[in-house]
Amino acid sequence: MKIHAYEKAFLYLGALLLVAFMGALTYAAVAMGMNLPSRAGSIEPAAVRTTPPFDEPGVRQTGPNSYEVVFIAQMWSFTPSEIRVPAGAEVTIKATSTDVVHGLSIEGTRVNLMLLPGQITELKYTFRRAGEHLLICHEYCGRAHHMMGGRVIVEPGATGGTD
C-alpha cells in the first residue's frame, strides 16, 4: 500500500512537532528550573492551626538569603494577608486550606498553587525585583470569593532592582 505524499508530510510534521514540544518542556524543566509545586505532606484540616508550621503563619528567615512563608487559606481570606520578603532571596512557600479548595496566585510571577484541604503544597521562588504584587485566590470558594486577597511586598535586597 502506497502512502500519499501529503500524508507522509503530515506524519513527519507531527513527529517533528512532538520532538520540538518535548524539547521545550525539557528546556523549561532543566535549564529554567520550572516545575510543578510539590505535595509536601498531609495534615488534618481541623488541626491546621495547631500543627507546625501552620500554628505560626507568616515569614521566617531560614538562612542567610532564604525565607519560609507559611500561608493558611480559609473562606474568604489568607493568613497572613500581607507578607514582606527581600528581593533576590529564595522563598519557600508552604500553604494549605482549612475548608474548601482555594488557589494562591501571586500576580506578575509564576507562583500559582492549588490549595486542597489538608494537603500541604510547597514551592520555591525567588522574587528578582522589588515591588508589590497582588495575592489572589483563583478558585471560586464561595460568595465572598472576590474579597479574598492580599499583598506580597518585595523590598529592595541584594539585587536592588525595581519593577
String of DSSP letters for 13-48: HHHHHHHHHHHHHHHHHHTS---PPEEEEE--GGGG
Say which DSSP state 111 is in.
-
* Annotated domain spans of the chain: 1-35, 38-155
Residue 127 has pLDDT above 90, yes or no: yes
Over pLDDT 90: what percentage of the chain? 70
CATH superfamily of domain region 38-155 = Cupredoxins -  blue copper proteins (2.60.40.420)
More confident residue, 58 or 31: 58
pTM of this prediction?
A: 0.74
- pLDDT value at position 120? 93
40-86 residue pLDDT tens: 788 899 999 999 999 999 999 999 999 999 999 999 999 999 999 99
